[in-house]
Amino acid sequence: MSTRQHAGPGPAGPEVPEPSLAERARTLVSVARIGSLSTHSRKFVGFPFGSVMPYAADDRGRPVFLISSMAMHTQNLHQDARASLLITQPDSAGDPLGAARVTLLGATAEVPAAEVRDLYLSRYENAKYWQEYTDFAYHRLEVSSVYFIGGFGVMGWVPAEEYITARPDPLAETAQEIIQHMNADHADALVLIATRFGGEAATEASMTAVDRLGFHLRLKTGDRVHGRRVAFLREVGNKDEARAVLVEMVRQARSSDSH
């Protein structure tokens, strides 16, 4: 019989502080740019219809789309305004099921261009070429519920009110840079950090997410794969502070390993 185990959250340990699911959902929506929009098919009643959908999120986390009335998803929305938008963590191709994703549910409605044009063009400058076409219009999804998955063993529904009032993490725009740097240049140090600060001996470790309070590691020992949350030594507010704390943690972990 195989001893391979499904990836999971790992053994229970001391609770590690982390942003709320609402904050993490807002952070992901703020940094991503493209989602999968699901509408109710007008042609095939009862079936969902999926579309690749560029979006820009406003200051309440509501996605804004620029769509043509000739598009199938727009025709679907005109008949039934209810929709969902699935957004996945950028650069998660290596381990998509271990990465964060969020589904926003709500009704869409057309919104005046003057209200959202600058926001949308700040994300998609080339969209200015579509502004004069009469069949294009801006639509916004009014978020009524949110389901967030933060990786292995981290998931749950988020009330719309909590999502709307939450704020993106201060490391949102630089998190991928930090993750890529740590995984490419300090994979050995992450193994030591997992032992020293996560209480988990592992043969492989990679960072999958990072925020102002800490980071998530994907750990592997033999056939066992699981996740572990590790707290920063102190809360950070930007990339430079995060780098300083990580350097300090690596130094402590190496010091412990040499004793």
Which domain-ending residue is among 142, 165, 188? Answer: 165
User: Is 249 a domain residue?
Assistant: yes
Strand ranges in the chain using DSSP code E only, listed in sequence order = 34-40, 48-54, 56-57, 63-68, 82-88, 101-110, 136-151, 154-159, 204-211, 214-221, 224-231
Q: Which residues pair with 238 in a beta bridge?
A: none
Do residue 242 and residue 122 come from a single domain? Answer: no
Token pair for 132: 């004069």
pLDDT of residue 90: 75
CA distance 147 to 130: 32
Over residues 97-110, mean pLDDT: 91
CA distance 232 to 235: 6
Which domain-ending residue is among 126, 146, 165? Answer: 165
Which domain-ending residue is among 134, 165, 196? Answer: 165
Calculate ∠ Cα 130-104-92, nearest 5°: 85
What's phi and psi for 129, nearest 5 deg?
Answer: -70, -15
User: Is 5 a domain residue?
Assistant: no
Do residue 99 and residue 25 come from a single domain? Answer: yes
Do residue 215 and residue 136 come from a single domain? Answer: no
Do residue 61 and residue 134 come from a single domain? Answer: yes
Per-residue confidence band for 259, with pLDDT thresholds at 50, 70 and 90: low
Do residue 67 and residue 126 come from a single domain? Answer: yes
pLDDT of residue 41: 97
Over residues 102-112, mean pLDDT: 97
pLDDT of residue 12: 41
pLDDT of residue 52: 97
User: Is the model's pLDDT at 11 over the cut of 50?
Assistant: no
CATH number for position 188: 3.20.180.10
Do residue 221 and residue 242 come from a single domain? Answer: yes
> Are the CB atoms for 86 and 100 separated by under 8 Å?
no
User: Is the model's pLDDT at 92 over the cut of 90?
Assistant: no
User: Is 144 a domain residue?
Assistant: yes
Do residue 37 and residue 120 come from a single domain? Answer: yes
Do residue 27 and residue 146 come from a single domain? Answer: yes
User: Is 66 a domain residue?
Assistant: yes
Per-residue confidence band for 94, with pLDDT thresholds at 50, 70 and 90: low
Do residue 206 and residue 160 come from a single domain? Answer: no
Radius of gyration of the chain (CA): 21
Do residue 33 and residue 128 come from a single domain? Answer: yes
Q: Which residue would you say has higher pLDDT here, 254 or 213?
A: 213
pLDDT of residue 126: 87
Q: Which residue would you say has higher pLDDT here, 42 or 255?
A: 42
Over the stretch 175-214, which tens digit does the pLDDT of each residue have? 989 999 999 999 999 999 999 998 888 899 999 889 999 9
Q: Calculate the average pLDDT of the chain.
A: 89
- Closest C-alpha to 18, from 232, 243, 253, 238: 232
Tell me how many domains the chain contains: 2
Kindly give, in sequence order, each residue whose CB lies less than 8 Å from that of residue 170, ignoring residues fewer than 6 positions away: 212, 236, 237, 238
Over residues 233-247, mean pLDDT: 96
CA distance 245 to 249: 6
Q: Which residue would you say has higher pLDDT here, 63 or 91?
A: 63
Residue 238 structural domain: 175-258
Over residues 109-117, mean pLDDT: 96
Do residue 153 and residue 35 come from a single domain? Answer: yes
User: Is 96 a domain residue?
Assistant: yes
User: Is 216 a domain residue?
Assistant: yes
Name the percent of the chain lying above pLDDT 70: 90
Over residues 75-88, mean pLDDT: 97
Do residue 148 and residue 67 come from a single domain? Answer: yes
